Amino acid sequence: MRLGLPAGSLQEATADLFRRAGYKITYTNRSYYPAIDDPEIECVLIRAQEMARYVQDGVLDAGLTGYDWIIETKADVVEVAELVFSKVSRRPVRWVLAVPEDSPIQSVKDLEGKRIATEAVGITEQFLARHGVKAKVEFSWGATEVKPPRLADAIVEVTETGSSLRANNLRILEEVLVSTPRFIANRAAYQDPWKRQKIEDIVLMLKGAMAAEGKVSLMMNVPRNKLSQVVAILPALQKPTVADLSDPDWVAVITVCDESVVRQIIPRLKAAGAQGIVEQPITKLID
């Protein structure tokens, strides 16, 4: 199966996600064909901006790209799963309309007849059409934030934190599109039983790795007569597992919780009667 991996800003984040999902991806210098420890998969590095088009055309069976580039290229692909990860945070990225801090432009309507620079020309034109505004939208090859006010009246740019916009004295006028990474598939490939199963297996493991992020497993032995007090303390995802021990007066309790709360609840569990408390990292969490 031919799998497209995003080159550029998401490249390392994608490799890390696959590693946590159980796949080892190795990038080699100047090669666009990363190695993966699955002989049934052939990986190709492709810019996220082009990924959806290559998947649509069948050059690739599946790939990872942003929802924004699916919209931008109007690609006809199967969106198998949404995977919320990025190069900086686990938040979606936003395409925003921004203008200089001292610009007289205060609304989208004020852009009538103005010049807008952006890498996402199609997304911007669709946005303006929804607002009934006609403006000159120019493709930007990069460094879009530095173009206002001399080279453009406004820009449409992608941001996670907004820090780059603020550093260039730009203010956000309006949100244009919210985007998250998507695992996409070619429609014909997704109809092939073997490829579909392979794609769904990969997605299952990726989502399991993402769900496990920040989670740990807690195991402990609890006196049976203290069980209700201990269980009341545990912030279980569903319900903790309770198992009998060889001593009928004791039970084993296993649960999953956020790593951030462990330091708060372990002292309370100990005070409630739990013993032999063990914390273990979780690499995957499959519902």
Give the model's confidence band at 86: pLDDT under 50 very low, under 70 low, under 90 confident, else very high.
low
pLDDT value at residue 27? 87
Residue range 104-123, pLDDT digits in tens:
999 999 999 999 999 999 99
Domain 215-281 top-level CATH class? alpha beta
Superfamily holding 2-89+181-212: Periplasmic binding protein-like II (3.40.190.10)
Q: Where are the domains of the chain?
A: 2-89+181-212, 93-179, 215-281
SS (H, E, C) the chain: CEEEEEECCCHHHHHHHHHHHCCCEECCCCCCCCEECCCCCEEEEEEHHHHHHHHHCCCCCEEEEEHHHHHHHCCCCEEEEECCCCCCCCCCEEEEEEEECCCCCCCHHHHCCCEEEECCHHHHHHHHHHCCCCCEEEECCCCHHHCCCCCCCEEEEEECCCHHHHHCCEEEEEEEEEECEEEEECHHHHHCHHHHHHHHHHHHHHHHHHHHCCEEEEEEEEEHHHHHHHHHHCCCCCCCEEEECCCCCEEEEEEEEEHHHHHHHHHHHHHHCCEEEEEEECCCCCC
pLDDT value at residue 237? 60
pLDDT reading at 161 higher than 80:
no
CATH fold match for the domains 2-89+181-212 and 93-179: yes
Residue range 32-81, pLDDT digits in tens:
899 999 999 999 999 999 999 999 999 999 999 999 999 999 999 999 99
pLDDT reading at 236 higher than 90:
no
Give the model's confidence band at 90: pLDDT under 50 very low, under 70 low, under 90 confident, else very high.
low
Assigned architecture for domain 93-179: 3-Layer(aba) Sandwich (3.40)
pTM score of the predicted model: 0.83
